[in-house]
Amino acid sequence: MTLQRPTKRTLVEQIVAQLEQLIENGTWPVGERIPAEPELVKELGVSRNTIREAIHALIHAGLLRTRQGDGTYVCSASSLKPVLSRRLERSKLSETLEVRSALEQEGARLAARRRTPEDIGKIRSAYEACVRAEASGDIELHVQADYAFHKEIIAAAHNSILSDLYDSISEAVRQVVTYGSSRLCLLRLHSELNARLVESIANRDEDRSAEAVREYIDASRSILLQDTQGGNEQHHE
C-alpha cells in the first residue's frame, strides 16, 4: 500500500469550506440566491475561476443549484441530505422503515433523557397541531404537522448529528406518513401512540418512549409491505 503525504488545502478547497459554512450556519438559507460572482471575487480577493470552481464543487455536492439566467441558489443546508436522498431512492421500503425506526427510537430515548421544559412545551404544541390537522381531514396538513412533531422530538435529543441524519431522510419519512394518513386504522394508532410518546418523554421514561415509536413503525411496516404488488418490496420512485 502506497501512502501519500498530506498536503495543504488548495485555494479552491478553502473557498468551498467558507461558502459551505455560510450555508450550514444559515447565513445563506435554503432557497436564497447567493451573491453574484463579481461580488464574491471582490469579497474574497480571489480570481473568478477560483470562485467558479468552488461553486461548481458545491453544486456537485448538492448544496447549490444554478437557475439559467437567474443566478445560483442554496438548495440544501447540508451535503449529507442530497447524498442520502439519492441512496434512499434506490432502497427497499423495508430498509427505509428500519432506518427510520432506528433513528426515531434512539431520538425518543435521548429526548426522554435530555428534554428541557422548553422542549416539552414545543413537543406538546406540535402534538396539538397534529390533532387539529387530523380532525380537519386535510392529509397534506396532517403530513406536515406529523413531521414537525417528530422533528421536535429529535431536536429534544440534543444531538446535532442525529438531527442532520433525520433531516436527510425527511422526504422518505414524509412519503411513509402520507401513505399512513390515508389508512384510517394506522392513523388512529399513530394518534394514540403519539399521545403516549409525549407523556413518556415528559416523564423521562426512555423505554416507553422508544416502545411507542417501535409499535407504530412496526404496524406501518406490516400494512405498507402487504400493499406492495405481489408481496414484493418496491424501491422508492
**Which domains are present in the chain?**
11-74 (1.10.10.10), 81-231 (1.20.120.530)
Which of 113, 116, 108, 174 has the alpha carbon at shortest distance from 141?
174
pLDDT for 66 equals 92
pLDDT for 231 equals 46
Side chain identity at 8, as an amino acid letter? Answer: K
Q: Tell me the pTM.
A: 0.65
DSSP 205: -
pLDDT for 88 equals 61
Number of Cβ atoms within 10 Å of the Cβ of 150? 24
Contact status, residue 101 vs residue 158, Cβ threshold 8 Å = no
DSSP 115: -
Contact status, residue 210 vs residue 196, Cβ threshold 8 Å = no
pLDDT for 202 equals 97
**Within 13 Å, how many C-alpha atoms sit on residue 222's CB side?**
8
pLDDT tens series, the chain, 237 aa: 565 555 567 889 899 989 988 998 889 998 999 999 999 999 999 999 999 999 999 998 888 999 988 899 998 777 666 666 666 666 676 777 788 889 999 999 999 999 999 999 999 999 999 999 888 888 788 888 988 999 999 999 999 889 888 887 776 666 666 655 555 566 677 788 899 999 999 999 999 999 999 988 888 777 766 655 444 555 554
pLDDT for 227 equals 57
Q: How far is CA 40 from the centre of its chain?
A: 30
pLDDT for 91 equals 63
pLDDT for 35 equals 94
Contact status, residue 162 vs residue 110, Cβ threshold 8 Å = yes
Dist. CA 115–CA 154, nearest whole Å:
10
